[in-house]
Amino acid sequence: IGITDYRVSLIPLGGYVKMVGEEPDAEIDPADIPISFTQKNVFKRILIVAAGPAFNILLAIVIFFCFYLISGIDDVTPVIRTIETDGPAHKAGLKKNDLILSIDNARVDSWYDILKAVEQGKERPLILDVRRGDTIFTAEVTPKLSVGKDFFGNELEYYTLGISGFPEQEAIVGDVSEGFPAQKAGLKKGDKIVAINGNKVDSWNGMREAIIASEGHALNITVLRGDIRFDVEITPTLKNAIGETEERYQIGISSAGVKIPDDDKFVKKLNPFTAFRESIAHTYNITKLTVIIVGKLIQGKVSAKTIGGPIMIAQMAGQQAREGVTNLAFFIALISINLAILNFLPIPVLDGGHLLFFSIEAVIGRPVNIKVREIAQQAGIFVLILLMIYVFYNDIVRLIPK
């Protein structure tokens, strides 16, 4: 079309753009010299090369924006289902099953509104209008600053009222992490932990606190599997899911999630501005998490066995497609962000490698020596080939039954 050739290959694995005059020593038709890539100033070349990964990020934003605008956010009604003893809300006189109507005279439809009000208010006192049965009253609640842990075990500060719209989680096993004490002891998905060292377990939080308090000593855990009740001995570990040492002990299980009553379920519709803001925030959070993981892979703190290639991507895409169009769209956005970050890595051949050379050129005022670039590109190709071999090896190993 025009002066551009478009092509769909027989095996459509990946894609690329090849520009006129992309190679410094390429032979160019005299008529094409004014539009050739090498004739552009260095800052234009930087923008051109950065456009590819940037549009990967933009695609993710667009996908999230469309989802939030059309489908909204799955949420729950602003009814207090759990309340922290001696927390800010409890001290202000709020109770379980209270319905929050408004905060600072702003109507509250769901827990999304409550979380946003707390996030924006920080330590400022909030005025809550609350319904309890047939009575409506006002309460002043000041959020408190709490410290939790993120996926990597790093400290995470957040403000809270000490309440939640979700019922207390039962101590039911959702997933069992490979190689962790729980798996070695034979725990399975769906098992319910009913007691630890003879002490009754009423909730997931109660179970987790007992494991953390173990200080690494063996625990006698009573498990209910269907109608069968049995005991197992499990010694908690300080290693987390990515192999790093944490400050708290764990046995390698995740929860089965919270059972939300149908009456509590709520879909929060978002206006275009809020949907755009949420899509930016969601893309940023995924990008940040991915960059951290890549960094920890390079440092050797995350196992290289977690890396996957085309086979793994196809498997996961199929799984997400079976879950529904929404899940598949979110997966595409996730892959797009991963591609952007991969292409931004300063490896010759990749966009990040080109950006590195162009940045050096902008600083020193002249292009990097062609011979140096050729050697660097050969090294980059070698690294990428090794990476491809390794990810295919990982993919094939995962397919082999254990």
How far is it, in rounded angstroms, from Cα 277 to Cα 274? 5
> What is the separation, in whole angstroms, between the first and last Cα of the chain?
52
Cβ atoms of residues 253 and 177 within 8 Å: yes
Instruction: Compute the radius of gyration of the chain from its Cα atoms.
Output: 27
Closest CA to 188 of 200, 180, 199, 196: 180
Q: What is the pLDDT along the chain (402 residues), one digit of tens a residue?
A: 988 899 888 877 667 788 888 776 677 888 888 888 888 889 999 999 999 999 999 999 999 999 999 988 888 999 999 998 889 999 999 999 999 999 999 999 999 999 999 988 888 999 999 999 999 999 999 999 887 766 666 677 889 999 999 888 888 988 888 778 888 888 988 899 999 998 998 888 888 888 888 888 899 999 999 889 999 999 888 766 555 556 678 888 888 778 888 888 888 889 999 999 999 999 999 998 888 888 888 877 777 777 888 778 888 888 888 878 888 888 899 999 999 999 998 888 889 998 999 999 999 988 888 888 889 888 988 988 998 888 888 888 888 776
Taking phi first (over 0 means left), then psi (-120 to 50 degrees means alpha), and beta for anything else, what does residue 151 get?
A: alpha
Cβ atoms of residues 23 and 289 within 8 Å: no
Torsion angles phi and psi, residue 195, rounded to 5: -160, 150
How far is it, in rounded angstroms, from Cα 208 to Cα 214? 10
Instruction: Give 151's DSSP letter.
Output: T
pLDDT at 223: 92
Torsion angles phi and psi, residue 94, rounded to 5: -75, 155
Instruction: Give the CA diameter of the chain.
Output: 85
Determine if the pTM surpasses 0.85: no
CA distances from 365 to 142, 248, 261, 310, 351 (A): 57, 52, 65, 40, 20
Torsional sign, CA 185, 189, 194, 199: positive
Give Cβ neighbours of residue 378 (< 8 Å, ≥ 6 apart): none
pLDDT at 196: 92
